[in-house]
Structure 1
Amino acid sequence: MACRITEIVIDAQDPNRLAAFWCEVLGYVELDREADGSIQIGPPGAEAGGALPTVVIGAGRDPRPGKLPVHFDLNATDRDQEAELARLLALGAVPADVGQSGEESWHVLADPEGNEFCLLRARVKPV
């Protein structure tokens, strides 16, 4: 028997803002909101433990030094990389420097709370 990723958890100083950002970026919706302030987001119609992992954004964050050990890699589904980059920047993402050379085929960005993620070049089919 194997395990499967069911949720990805992100701590946030402002869960509402971060959930709204990632919902816009990924085309996700709010699925659940807990009394402790955590917000679960995912594809429309998804549920906890379903086929696709959901994202849980919880309140509270201790300062962290340096580059995150885990990050999202994103691919656009309906536009080229440059058009998607412009959309992400308009939503509040900012370029991030994690030591890349400048020759990469991807862009390193950070969400409104500084969590790094990469925008890759390939266009993929929507789920």
Structure 2
Amino acid sequence: MACRITELVIDAADPERLAAFWSEVLGYVELERDDDTIEIGPPDAGFGGPQPTLVLSRTSDPRRGKLPLHIDVNATDRDQEAELERLLALGARHVDIGQTGEEGWHTLADPEGNEFCLLRSRVRSLSEGAGD
């Protein structure tokens, strides 16, 4: 028996804003909400599906230092440059962490400054069949 990741919890000053951003980035929908958290996930699977859900949890505690975990994303229906343009239009911004310019990825930050990377490879959408 093994475990798998079912949720990623992200502390947020503005869960509404981050939920909207990550829903657009990942094609997720709102699954559940209470006073201080919003859970988003795949529209056809929700919690427990093949992809983890994101739980945006309100906090007023400031983050101290670089997070030891970040999210990597890959485009499913366009090339990396077109996806980069889309992410920047949604509110992502470039982050300089000492890149050389030769990397195959772009380091970005979401609207609250959480770093994530857009990788070069295009991957199959989970809605595409294995034989496609």
Query: For residue 26 of structure 1, what is the aligned residue in structure 2?
Result: 26
3-state secondary structure, aligned to 2:96: coil
3-state secondary structure, aligned to 2:99: coil
Query: For residue 130 of structure 2, what is the aligned residue in structure 1?
Result: none
Q: Runs of at least 4 residues of structure 1 off by over 4 A?
A: none
Number of residue pairs the alignment of both structures matches: 126
Does the CA-based 8 Å contact 1:6-1:54 persist in structure 2? yes
> Unaligned stretches of 5+ in structure 1?
none
- Give me the TM-score of the superposition, normalised by structure 1: 0.93
- Give me the TM-score of the superposition, normalised by structure 2: 0.89
Identity %: 71
Does the CA-based 8 Å contact 1:31-1:46 persist in structure 2? no
Rounded Cα–Cα distance in structure 2 between residues aligned with 1:87 and 1:57: 22
Query: For residue 109 of structure 1, what is the aligned residue in structure 2?
Result: 108
Query: For residue 84 of structure 1, what is the aligned residue in structure 2?
Result: 83
Rounded Cα–Cα distance in structure 2 between residues aligned with 1:69 and 1:8: 13
Query: For residue 64 of structure 2, what is the aligned residue in structure 1?
Result: 65
Q: 80-89 or 62-71, which moves further after superposition?
A: 62-71
3-state secondary structure, aligned to 2:73: strand
**Matched residue type, 1:101:** T
Question: How much is the aligned-residue C-alpha RMSD, in angstroms?
Answer: 1.3
> How big is the shift at 1:61?
4.5
Q: 45-54 or 86-95, which moves further after superposition?
A: 45-54
Query: For residue 15 of structure 1, what is the aligned residue in structure 2?
Result: 15
Query: For residue 43 of structure 1, what is the aligned residue in structure 2?
Result: 42
Rounded Cα–Cα distance in structure 2 between residues aligned with 1:100 and 1:87: 21
> How big is the shift at 1:51?
3.1
> Unaligned stretches of 5+ in structure 2?
127-132
Structure with the higher fraction of residues in strand conformation: 1
